[in-house]
Amino acid sequence: MPEMFAEEAARARRALVREIEAYGVLRDPAWRDAFGRVPRHLFVPYYYVPGAGGYERLWSGDPDPARRTRWLRGAYRDTALATRVRDGALVSSASQPSLMAQMLEALDVRDGQGVLEIGAGTGYHAALLCHRLGDRHVTTVDLDEEIAESARAHLAAAGHRPAVLTGDGARGCPEHAPYDRVVATCAVPSVPYSWLDQCRPDALVLTPLSTGLLLLRVRDPEHAEGRFLPTSAYFVALRGGSARTPRLRTTGVPRRVYEDEGFRFLVSLAAGGLDTREALSLWQRERRPERERFGVTVSGGRQWAWLDDPEGPYAWPLPDL
């Protein structure tokens, strides 16, 4: 990349860090340094933006300097980027950096800890972990060999060589276990038991579930519990495993309620135990409960979501994965 582009990329990273800090995250100087130094543009040499009649591809090798500049600046916007589209459907994306920052700070890593990442994506998230912990402490797995190989190449271009493996993320990665932290960058309908099996006692598991981010503390392979973070989160679903997220139904629900993010989160989370009208009744009775009032318990071969109290009156089974 010409020197002028390298300088512009550095300025763009500094601007991105300031933008993320404005959200109240990046309180940890180690993560601030990671976002300020890891070159995101190396992980998105091309991406897609909505255009007339479909997607428009922006890429680093465009012969038009103006379009290259547009690509570079877009790579450092605080937004998710579509990186793989097949038959008009989104297959893989680079997550919004500020959301990544919230997840990484919630993960509460310590020097020397081992992290398993489910969903390699572009490799950028793994690169941030590598910058913080060192390459040998990071393992990332993806079901798609093409995605895994691409992430491996991006990481190498940025000077990192963690373990990048191809496999079913629902099964974890026993070869490099045990782990102190597990973080998923794809949504699951329930928590895979294999992740808990591969954790050390007191490990943390952070995963998108429903439209939220669930943070579990692991007691042992059969017991874990935790609550959702306050933020909403929308991720591509985990491929592999067998469970499917239930379809949401709108019958009998006012449009303004159904379009509320918090209500949709409740309907999706409680689909195994409530129909939509029952969810509406609960939503109104509990005065629009916020995400952090909800949690999940895994115990004795079963798992359930709950409101306020794991043993309280509002609890719903989650599907087996």
Q: Are 34 and 132 in contact (CB under 8 A)?
A: yes
Among 207, 206, 203, residue whose Cα is nearest residue 179:
203
Domains of the chain: 3-232 (3.40.50.150), 255-317 (no CATH)
> Which pLDDT score is estimated for 295?
98
> Which pLDDT score is estimated for 2?
52
Among candidate residues 92, 150, 194, 268, the one labeled active-site is 92
> Which pLDDT score is estimated for 243?
45
Which residue numbers in the chain have pLDDT < 50? 1, 242-243
Q: What is the pLDDT of residues 4-13, one digit of tens each?
A: 578 899 999 9
Q: In the numeric block, which tokens belong to residue 284?
A: 């109104």
> Which pLDDT score is estimated for 241?
54
> Which pLDDT score is estimated for 247?
55
Cβ count within 10 A of residue 123:
30
> Which pLDDT score is estimated for 273?
83
Q: What is the pLDDT of residues 46-76, one digit of tens each?
A: 999 987 777 889 999 999 999 999 999 999 9
Among 147, 186, 173, residue whose Cα is nearest residue 43:
147
Q: What is the pLDDT of residues 188-239, one digit of tens each?
A: 999 999 999 999 999 999 999 999 999 999 999 999 999 999 999 988 888 7
> Which pLDDT score is estimated for 181?
98
**pTM exceeds 0.75 for this model:** yes
> Which pLDDT score is estimated for 51?
75
Annotated catalytic residue 95: no
Sequence-separated (6 or more) residues with CB below 8 Å from residue 306: 294, 295, 296, 297, 312, 314, 315, 316
> Which pLDDT score is estimated for 259?
83
> Which pLDDT score is estimated for 70?
94
